[in-house]
Chain A
Amino acid sequence: YVLTQAPSVSVAPGQTATISCGGNNIETKSVHWYQQREGQAPVLVVYDDSDRPSGIPERFSGSNSGNTATLTISRVEAGDEADYYCQVWDGIGDHFVFGSGTKVTVL
């Protein structure tokens, strides 16, 4: 199972960043999103398509439909600059798949 992400997204502060994750019939899977700042470990920001762990701002939201899952960051701040990875569990092979990652640059 392959997850496809655009390599980069640029967004001005205060605007909305939209990060897509494409996969065959991905809507049938639970998609999780991780934020990875430079030199740091990944941090879970959205799980099960659209839920947020405690401590994650409401500005982070997710959706999943058809062949595309989406992470949306509203009112982007400088601190949101990071790489973002989507991830699913492939129950058929019982393994985990990560997307190729999208680098979000705050202009």
Chain B
Amino acid sequence: GENVEQHPSTLSVQEGDSAVIKCTYSDSASNYFPWYKQELGKGPQLIIDIRSNVGEKKDQRIAVTLNKTAKHFSLHITETQPEDSAVYFCAAIWGDKSTFGDGTTLTVKP
């Protein structure tokens, strides 16, 4: 089955700096790669996603890049703010099968 590895598990940055979280996957059949933000005590919320036929996607301060050959995709957050502090999860999806990474706890220090 699919295996998704997410790094780093914790990330601490200064406000205004950039943050990068990387995920690698094993099944080349995976074709949809969403990223979720989860705040304490809440369910995950989709922040950005990318399909396998696209290399990069941006939404304001957030971007995702996908390298299908190397089987990895990354989340980039620029100009971080304290409210970006949360746990971020990546996922690799094929059909109705989903595999999530173990999460990255991002702390943005003011």
A binds B: no
**Taking beta carbons and an 8 Å cutoff, which residues of B are in contact with A?**
none
